[in-house]
A and B are shown apart, each in its own frame.
Chain A
Amino acid sequence: MIARVFAVLVFAGALQAASAPDWVRAAMAVPVPAQPPRTSAVVLSDTTSLTIAPSGERKTVRRRVVKILAPAGRDYAYGVAMFDDRTKLRTLRAWSIEPSGEVHKLKERDAIEASASTFEVFTDAKLKYLDIPSEVGSVVATEYETREQPYEPATLWQFQEGIPVLRARLEARLPEGWRYTPTWMNHAAVEPLAGPAWELTDIPAIAVEPRMPGAGAIVGRLGVQWNASRSWSDVGAWYYGLAASRMAATPPLQAKARELTGGAADPVRALARFAQRDIRYVAIEIGIGGYQPHPAGEVLANRFGDCKDKATLLQAMLKELGVESHAVLVHTTRGAVDPSFPTVHTFNHVISAIRIPREKAKGLDAVVEHPKLGTLLLFDPTSTVTPFGQLPPYLQASRGLLVTPQGGELIELPAHAPEASALRRKAKLQLDANGVLRGTVEEVRTGAVASSWRGQLQALNAADRTKFVESALASHLAHQTASDVTIENLDDPEADLVVRYAVSAAGYAKRVADMILVRPRVLGAKGESTVPAAGRQHAYVTEGPSLQTDDVEIAIPAVVKLDELPKPVTVTTPHVQYTSNSTFEQGVLRYTRKYAMKTWSVERDGIASLNEAFAKIAADERASAVFK
Chain B
Amino acid sequence: MDYAFQAEGLVKRFGKQTALSGLDLAAPAGTVLGVLGPNGAGKTTAIRILATLLSPDEGRAVVGGFDVVTQAHRVRRLIGLTGQYATVDEELTAFENLVMVGQLLDLRKAEARSRADELLRQFDLRESGTQRASALSGGMRRRLDLAVSLVGRPRIVFLDEPTTGLDPGRREDLWRLVRSMTAEGVTVLLTTQYLEEADALADHICVIDEGRVIADGTSADLKRIVGGQTIVVRPVDPRQADVAAEVLEQVARRRAEPVHRGVVTVPVEDDRVLPEVVRRLVDADVRLAEFSLRLPSLDEAFFALTGRAEEVRR
Binding partners A and B: no
Q: Measuring CB to CB, which residues of chain B are less than 8 angstroms from any residue of chain A?
A: none
